[in-house]
Amino acid sequence: MSSTPAPNPDPALFLDRDGVINIDHGYVGTRDRFEFIPGAREAIAFATAQGWRVFVVTNQSGIARGHYTEADVHALHAWMIAEIAAAGGRIDDIRFCPFHPQAKLEKYRRISDWRKPAPGMILDILRAWNLNPVNALLIGDQTIDLQAAAAAGIRGEKFPGGDLEKFLRPLLWCAGQESVITDTP
């Protein structure tokens, strides 16, 4: 019969990074410039405790522009994941896009379907984790985040700033309910 595996039933939270997890100081590629948004670690710990998978999808054109390297970003994310884990949260997976059409570094100069507002990073995680898009929610601070969510066929909500845990808690309570799934476009 069909060999298609049953979809992973876990609800999936996609977080933009700059402006959602950390304050967007512009091209944050190293720990010294990384400052957590108030309530960010607590928000992720709450999501984890509620049974959500948590993913990060972030444009990092600072790599294309030569401000920092892919290795810098990997190191920063390893530290970020450990800090979040210390608060009780789990980041299940991360995708970042190093490309930019006008990159200073030729290696990274291209139009990429991973670069938001394109949905490539989200689609890659949905596929890799065999997730059901109706159980997914993306939080971003910019229009391009919501455009990427829409293009991937998942719900998106704009984080207006402030305390991420306060913002996220009611959304997660709702998004895990059947009644909201039927409202998903």
The binding site for Mg ion (CB under 5 A) comprises 16, 18-19, 141
The kind and range of the H/E element at 95 are strand 93-97
User: Between residues 42 and 141, which has the closer beta carbon with respect to Mg ion?
Assistant: 141
Q: Which of 18, 32, 93, 163 is labelled catalytic?
A: 18
Query: CB–CB of 100/108 below 8 Å?
Result: yes
The token pair that represents 91 in the structure block: 């980041």
Q: Which of 10, 16, 32, 141 is labelled catalytic?
A: 16
Q: How far is CA 139 from CA 16, 89, 124, in A?
A: 6, 16, 17
CB atoms within 10 A of CB 71: 10
DSSP category for residue 108: G
Q: What is the closest distance, in whole angstroms, from the C-beta atom of residue 145 to Mg ion in the complex? A: 6
User: Between residues 19 and 117, which has the closer beta carbon with respect to Mg ion?
Assistant: 19
Q: What is the closest distance, in whole angstroms, from the C-beta atom of residue 41 to Mg ion in the complex? A: 17
* Active-site residue flag, 72: no
* Active-site residue flag, 24: no
Residue showing the smallest CB distance to Mg ion in the complex: 19
Q: What is the closest distance, in whole angstroms, from the C-beta atom of residue 58 to Mg ion in the complex? A: 7
Residues 6 or more apart whose CB falls under 8 angstroms from that of 46 comprise 89, 165, 168, 169, 172
Residues annotated catalytic, as ranges: 16, 18
